[in-house]
Amino acid sequence: MRPEFYKVLQSPILWGVLLLAALLPFVLPSYYLHIVILSLVYVALASSWNIVGGMAGQISLAHSLFIGIGAMLSTALLLKLGINMWLGLLISAAISAVMAAMIAWIDYRFRLGHLSFVLITMAFAEMGGLVVEGWDFLGGASGLLLPRDTGHFLDFQFGGSHGAFWVMLFLAVVCVLVNVAILNAPLGYYLRTIRDNENAARAIGVDVLRYKVAAMVISAVLASIVGTAYVRYLTFADPYLLVSPVITIEIVLFATVGGLGSAFGPALGALLLVPLGEILRGQLGGVLPGLHYFIYGIVVIAVILMTPQGLLPLVERLWKRRPGAVAAAEPPANAAR
Amino acid sequence: MAEFLQALTQGLLIGSTYGLLALGMGLVYGVSGVVNFAHGDFIALGMFMCLALYSALSLDPYVSIVITVPVMMGVGALVYRYLLRPMVGHKFLMIVQLTLGLSLVLQNGILMVFGGQPARTPSAVESRLWIVGDVVMRVPHIIAFVVSFAMAIGLYVMLRSTDFGRSIRAVHQNAHAASLMGIDVGRVQILTFALGIGILAIAAALLLPGTPIQPTMGLRYTVITLLVVVLGGMTNFVGIMLGGLVIGISEAFGTIYLSDILGMLLPYGIFVLIMLFRPQGLTWGAAR
C-alpha cells in the first residue's frame, strides 16, 4: 500500500467534511434529506462499479444483477423464510461474489473482446431481470414489501431516514475508500495494466484471471450490500427499479461523467447528477410528463461535450490553477487517464 | 410440425427487419467507431412521426416514409455534426454516454409531445393474412421481409460499386489513408450516420403495422440491435443479416414453445452461447 492511502485516511479535510455531513439530518428538511440519501446510494454504487469499469476497464453492465440480488434476495429470505436480514445480506453478498467470479472466469476463459463483454454482461442482466419477474419467491413482477422500519438494529432496521442516512454515508465512504485503497495497492496497478494492454500484462506475468476475478468480486459484494441497505430504506423491493438495466446505465453515467478510473470521480458525478435529476423532477415533474428527463438529458449531453475527459480532471486542473497554488504541485497520483 | 413451421417463418420474417436495424448500426460503427445507444429511440421517433402523419393527413405508414426518411436523415446528419463529431478521439464510453443522454432527450421529447399511452397506427394491409399450408403469415411481416432483404442487397451493391460506397469502405479500412487519397472523411462519416438513421425510418414503418407503440420502447430495440450487430461481427453484412434471423427465430421459438419468462430468456441465452463459442460472431472467411 502506498503512503497516499494513509494520507487520504489521515486527512483532516476528509474527516471534517464527514463530521459536518453526519450532522445533516438534524438541519435538512426531509425532502432534501431524501435527495442526499439517494445521492449517497449512487455514490456508493458508482464507486463500486468503478473498480471493474474504471480501473480494470471492463465495461460490465451486470451491476444490476448484484444490486438486485442484494435487494430482492435478502428481502425474500426475510419474508418467505424468516431469515434475519443481516444474515440475508451476507448470503446475498456471497451469491453475488460467486456470480461475479463466474462472469470474470467466462470473460477470461473465452477471451471476450470489449464489446462482447459489454453485451454478454448486458444479456446476463436482462436474464436476471426476467428471472426475478418470473419467480414468485423473489416477488415476481409485483415486488415485495418489507415490514415497517421500527429501529431494531439487530433486525437490520435503522429507524427511518436519519438512520438510513448514516448507514448510506458509511457505505458511500467505505466504497470510496476501497477505491482509494485499490488504486494505491498492487491490485490497482495490476488492474490498470490489464486495462491498458491485457496481452502485455499477461506477457510480463500478471495473473490476469486472478485480478479480474478480484476486481469483479469486490465490486459485486459492495454493490450487493448497498442493494440490501437501499431496499431497507425504500421498504418496497421494486424489480423494475432494482433489477433493471436502467439502474446500471445510470451508475455508468455518473461514473463516466465524474471521471472514470479515479477514486473520487464517480462520487463527484453522482453527487452532482443525482440531486440535479431529483430537483428537476421535483420542480417540473408535475408540469409535463417527460420534461424533467428531457432537460436532464440535455444537461448530460452538454456536460459531456464540455468536459469529454470527465469532471474530476477539470476540477483538478482548476484546483491547481487556484491563486496561491504551489507552482510545482505534484501531479495527483490517482488521476484518471 | 405445423407449429414448428409457423415459428420458423415468423422468426425469419421478423428477423430480417432486425437485421436491417442492425445494418444501420454496423455501417456507422465501421466508419466512425460510434455505438449509438439512442438507436432504438430513433426507431421510436420514426414510428411516432408515422403516427403524427397518420393523425394529421391520414397517410399510410408505408407512404409516410417519403417524408420520414429525409427528415430523419437530416436529424441524423445534425446529430453527428454537432454532437458526435466533437467527441472523436475521446473515450469510447464517453461517446456511449452521450448517445444515452440523446436517448433520454428523444424518449422524453416524444413523451412530451404524444403522451405515454400506447398508440397504434393503422395501415391498409394491417390485418391481411397470407396462408400457405398450415402456416399463417401477416402481410406486413411479408412486406417487412421483402423490403429488408431488398434494402440489404441494395446497400451491399451500393458499398461494392458506387463511389460513395467505395469511400465508405475506404474510411472503414483506414481513415487516415482514405483522407490522403482525397476522401473527405468527416463528410463520409456524417453521410453514413445520416444513412444509418434514414434506414431506421424505413425499418420503423416496416415494424409499425400491428405494433402498439410507446415512447419508452426504444431501449428494447437498442438492445435487440446491439445483440444482432455483435452476433454479426460488427461490420460484416452477411453476418449481421444472419444474426438478425437468429435473434428473430429464437424469439419466435421462445414465445411459441416456452412459457412467458423462459421464452423471453431464450434469445439472450442463445446469444450468450454463440458468443462464447464464436466470439468473432457469425462470420466466416473474409466476407468483409
Model pLDDT for residues B119-158, shown as the tens digit of each residue: 887 777 777 888 877 788 888 888 888 999 999 899 889 8
In chain A, which residues have their Cβ closer than 8 Å to the Cβ of B271?
A: 119-120, 123
Nearest CA-CA distance, residue B149 and chain A, Å: 26
Dist. CA A87–CA A144, nearest whole Å: 18
Residue B286 has pLDDT above 70, yes or no: no
In chain A, which residues have their Cβ closer than 8 Å to the Cβ of B269?
A: 127
- pLDDT band of residue A182 (cuts 50, 70, 90) is very high
Using the Cβ of B215 and the Cβ atoms of chain A, whether some distance falls under 8 Å is answered with yes
Share of chain A above pLDDT 90, in %: 33
Residue A14 has pLDDT above 50, yes or no: yes
Compute the average pLDDT of residues B22-33.
88
Of A161-175, B196-210, B263-277, least confident by mean pLDDT is B263-277
> Among all chains, which residue has been given the C-alpha cell 497516499?
A4
Dist. CA B158–CA B97, nearest whole Å: 32
Do B72 and B46 touch, CB atoms closer than 8 A?
A: yes
Report CB contact under 8 Å: B101, A293.
no
Using the Cβ of A298 and the Cβ atoms of chain B, whether some distance falls under 8 Å is answered with yes
Compute the average pLDDT of residues A57-82.
91
Nearest CA-CA distance, residue A311 and chain B, Å: 12
What per-residue confidence (pLDDT) applies to B260? 74
Q: Locate the chain B residue with the closest alpha carbon to A257.
A: B94
Residue A330 has pLDDT above 70, yes or no: no
Per the prediction, chain B carries an average pLDDT of 86
- pLDDT band of residue A326 (cuts 50, 70, 90) is low
Q: Which domains does chain B have, with CATH numbers?
A: 2-115+125-277 (1.10.3470)
**Burial, B268: exposed, middle or buried (Cβ in 10 Å; 0-12, 13-18, 19+)?**
buried
Using the Cβ of A216 and the Cβ atoms of chain B, whether some distance falls under 8 Å is answered with no
- Chain segment B99-116, per-residue pLDDT in tens: 989 999 999 999 999 887
Residue among A124, A257, A293 whose CB faces B97 most closely: A257
In chain A, which residues have their Cβ closer than 8 Å to the Cβ of B108?
A: 290-291, 293-294, 297
Using the Cβ of B98 and the Cβ atoms of chain A, whether some distance falls under 8 Å is answered with yes
Task: Return the higher-pLDDT residue of B42 and A82.
Answer: B42
- Chain segment A209-232, per-residue pLDDT in tens: 999 999 999 999 999 999 999 999
Share of chain A above pLDDT 70, in %: 96
> Can you spell out the DSSP letters for A245-268?
HHHHHHHHHHHHHHHTTSSSHHHH
Most confident of A250-264, B68-82, B180-194, B242-256: B68-82
Using the Cβ of A257 and the Cβ atoms of chain B, whether some distance falls under 8 Å is answered with yes
Q: pTM (2 decimals)?
A: 0.86
Interface of A with B in 29-58 (CB under 8 A): 53
User: Residue A293, SS3?
Assistant: helix
Strand partners, B135: B132
Residue B180 has pLDDT above 60, yes or no: yes
Q: Locate the chain A residue with the closest alpha carbon to B108.
A: A290
Dist. CA A157–CA B3, nearest whole Å: 53
Report CB contact under 8 Å: A112, B275.
yes
Q: Locate the chain A residue with the closest alpha carbon to B117.
A: A289
Nearest CA-CA distance, residue A179 and chain B, Å: 20
Query: Phi, psi (5° rounding) for residue A335?
Result: -70, 150
Dist. CA A46–CA A22, nearest whole Å: 21
Residue B1 has pLDDT above 80, yes or no: no
> Among all chains, which residue has been given the C-alpha cell 396462408?
B131
Q: Locate the chain A residue with the closest alpha carbon to B264.
A: A130
- The DSSP output letter for A145 is E
Residue B53: what residue type? L
- pLDDT band of residue A333 (cuts 50, 70, 90) is very low
Of A42-56, A307-321, B187-201, least confident by mean pLDDT is A307-321
Residue A328 has pLDDT above 70, yes or no: no
Residue among B101, B115, B279 whose CB faces A301 most closely: B101
Using the Cβ of B230 and the Cβ atoms of chain A, whether some distance falls under 8 Å is answered with yes
In chain B, which residues have their Cβ closer than 8 Å to the Cβ of A127?
A: 265, 268-269
Dist. CA B140–CA B128, nearest whole Å: 8
Do A238 and A125 touch, CB atoms closer than 8 A?
A: no
Interface of A with B in 165-194 (CB under 8 A): none
In chain B, which residues have their Cβ closer than 8 Å to the Cβ of A305?
A: 83, 86-87, 98
What per-residue confidence (pLDDT) applies to A64? 93
- Three cell numbers written together for A205: 506475468
What per-residue confidence (pLDDT) applies to A324? 65
Going by C-alpha positions, the residue among A18, A11, A14, A9 that lies closest to residue A169 is A18
Compute the average pLDDT of residues A42-48.
95
- pLDDT band of residue B272 (cuts 50, 70, 90) is confident
Using the Cβ of A106 and the Cβ atoms of chain B, whether some distance falls under 8 Å is answered with yes
What per-residue confidence (pLDDT) applies to A337? 42
Task: Count CB atoms within 10 A of the CB of residue B241.
Answer: 25
Compute the average pLDDT of residues B151-179.
87
Report CB contact under 8 Å: A116, B272.
no
- pLDDT band of residue B284 (cuts 50, 70, 90) is low
Burial readout A108-125 (b: 16 or more C-beta within 10 A, e: otherwise): eebebbebbbbbbbbbbb
What per-residue confidence (pLDDT) applies to B258? 79
Task: Count CB atoms within 10 A of the CB of residue A88.
Answer: 21
Nearest CA-CA distance, residue A298 and chain B, Å: 6
Dist. CA A299–CA A280, nearest whole Å: 11
Residue among B103, B230, B268 whose CB faces A116 most closely: B230
Do B177 and B170 touch, CB atoms closer than 8 A?
A: yes
Interface of B with A in 7-66 (CB under 8 A): 35
What per-residue confidence (pLDDT) applies to A10? 82
- Chain segment A230-255, per-residue pLDDT in tens: 999 988 888 888 888 889 988 998 99
Residue A294 has pLDDT above 70, yes or no: yes
Compute the average pLDDT of residues A56-60.
87
Compute the average pLDDT of residues B235-256.
88
Sequence-distant (6+) residues with CB within 8 A of A322 are none
Dist. CA A309–CA A312, nearest whole Å: 8
Do A47 and A267 touch, CB atoms closer than 8 A?
A: yes
Q: How many CA atoms lie within 13 A of B238 on its CB side?
A: 7
Residue B64 has pLDDT above 60, yes or no: yes
Compute the average pLDDT of residues A308-318.
83
- pLDDT band of residue B234 (cuts 50, 70, 90) is confident
Burial readout A180-202 (b: 16 or more C-beta within 10 A, e: otherwise): bbbbbeebbbbbbbbbeebeebe
Which segments of A113-182 are extended strands (E)? 144-145
What per-residue confidence (pLDDT) applies to A116? 82
In chain B, which residues have their Cβ closer than 8 Å to the Cβ of A135?
A: 261
Dist. CA A30–CA A21, nearest whole Å: 15
Best probe of the A interface among B39, B82, B261, by most A CBs < 10 A, is B261
Compute the average pLDDT of residues A27-36.
88
Residue A186 has pLDDT above 80, yes or no: yes
Report CB contact under 8 Å: B104, A291.
no
Compute the average pLDDT of residues B10-37.
89
Using the Cβ of A59 and the Cβ atoms of chain B, whether some distance falls under 8 Å is answered with yes
Strand partners, B136: B131
- Chain segment A90-149, per-residue pLDDT in tens: 999 999 999 999 999 988 888 777 788 888 898 899 888 888 888 888 888 888 888 888
Interface of A with B in 112-131 (CB under 8 A): 112-116, 119-120, 122-124, 126-127, 130-131
Residue among A123, A246, A305 whose CB faces B271 most closely: A123
